[in-house]
Amino acid sequence: MAMQKVVIFGTGEIAELADFYFTHDSDCEVIGFTIDEAYIKQTRFLGRPVVPFERLTETFPPQNCSLFVAVSYSGVNDLRAKKVAVARTHGYQLASYVSSRATTFAGLQINENCFVLEDNTIQPFAKIGANVTLWSGNHIGHHSVIEDDVFIASHVVVSGGVRIGQGSFIGVNATLRDHVKLGKRCVIGAGALVLEDQPDFSVVAPRGTERSPVPSTRLRRI
């Protein structure tokens, strides 16, 4: 069976990770990279060609390959969503990656440009939108809905029946109580405990642990 050929948008750390995962844990072959022409600093990345996104169809036409947009949560996921939209208008199918070390169940549909890393548990009846990133180690509870363009960092607990609105970002170690609803483009900070619904554009940002005025050299016990 022929391997699916994929071009990755990006030449940063996430693109490097995407190349590793697609190469070592999927039936895809990464054949090149692309970014906006103004940001091209080298013509090759990880041994493969880097071509301008504006002229991608000339080198890698959409009938010959898929595209994966390896962009972070910049602009509350807006940049990634815009590049996905442009790729669609140019006729590209968008590839997705789901780790072989993720726990999923029958009936789960993975949509375009999703990136689901190792140790995610996605329980039955959960729904995942398009262009969703689930970094490693998350729990996605039963009957929860993650809308398009969401980025969930590591070790997040999404309880049952939760709804996460389009374009939202959930930081590491956050916990969302069952049946909580987040509006679109919410930002939930690292370690937050969300116990009630949040309207569109909400920011929930708990304070970080304060640094002690006593230096480590004066600690008697550790």
Q: Domain extents for the chain?
A: 4-89, 97-202
List, as residue ranges, the binding site for substrate: 75
The span from the CA of 117 to the CA of 138, in Å, is: 9
134 in Cβ contact with 120 (< 8 Å): yes
What is the model's pLDDT at position 208? 84
Read off the pLDDT of residues 48-59 as tens digits, 9 standing for 90 and up.
Answer: 999 999 999 999
The span from the CA of 149 to the CA of 151, in Å, is: 7
Alpha helices in 45-204 (DSSP H): 56-59, 78-89
What is the model's pLDDT at position 31? 98
Tokens of 206: 């708990």
pTM: 0.94
**Is the domain defined by 4-89 classed in CATH 3.40.250.10?**
no
Which whole-number Å values give the CA distances from 77 to 92, 193, 213, in the listed order? 20, 22, 37
What is the model's pLDDT at position 77? 95
List, as residue ranges, the binding site: 75
- Assign a CATH topology to domain 97-202: UDP N-Acetylglucosamine Acyltransferase; domain 1 (2.160.10)
Q: Do domains 4-89 and 97-202 have the same CATH topology?
A: no
Question: Residue range 62-78: average pLDDT?
Answer: 96
Read off the pLDDT of residues 136-168 as tens digits, 9 standing for 90 and up.
Answer: 999 999 999 999 999 999 999 999 999 999 999
